[in-house]
Amino acid sequence: GLWGLVNNAGVSTFGEVEFASLDNYKKVAEINLWGTVRVTKALLPLIRRAKGRVVNTTSMLGRMVSPSRSCYCISKFGVAAFSDCLRQEMYRWGVRVILIEPSNFVAA
């Protein structure tokens, strides 16, 4: 079986809504949101059998917005919502769903 899954996908683009292309929105969502959903769905039967856990990493920008980051924010809001739904659905199976929402950091 498989006891744990960590989803940590994260790509971003910058640009104001008016100037960000639809392709940018799609590319960011394809990796950040749909990648997380696909991998989780593929491995969830093994996780459920082991009563394991799913850890999804998003961002503080998955709960609040920032100008010029709409592509990224939308994708991370989606992962946060997906995680909240999954947490409620998996509770009865003894599977924990954890959401990590780091903030900005500066490497020294």
Domain of 58: which CATH number? Answer: 3.40.50.720
**pTM score, whole prediction:** 0.91
The answer to whether position 107 is within a domain reads: no
Query: Is residue 61 within 8 Å of residue 54, measured between CB atoms?
Result: no
Residues facing 7 on adjacent strands: 56
User: What pLDDT does 106 receive?
Assistant: 60
Among 12-16, 56-60, 72-76, 103-107, which is the least confidently predicted range?
103-107
Q: How many CB atoms lie within 10 A of CB 47?
A: 22
The answer to whether position 105 is within a domain reads: no
User: What pLDDT does 5 receive?
Assistant: 97
The answer to whether position 106 is within a domain reads: no
> Any idea what DSSP says for residue 20?
S
Known catalytic residues are: 72
The answer to whether position 108 is within a domain reads: no
pLDDT band at 65 (very low <50, low <70, confident <90, very high): confident
Mean pLDDT of the chain: 93
Total structural domains in the chain?
1
Q: What is the pLDDT of residues 5-45, one digit of tens each?
A: 999 988 999 999 999 999 999 999 999 999 999 999 999 99
Helices (H), the chain: 22-29, 35-50, 70-90
pLDDT higher than threshold 70 for residue 94: yes
Average pLDDT of the segment spanning 50-67: 91
Range of the domain at 28: 4-100
> Any idea what DSSP says for residue 48?
H
Query: Is residue 74 within 8 Å of residue 25, measured between CB atoms?
Result: yes
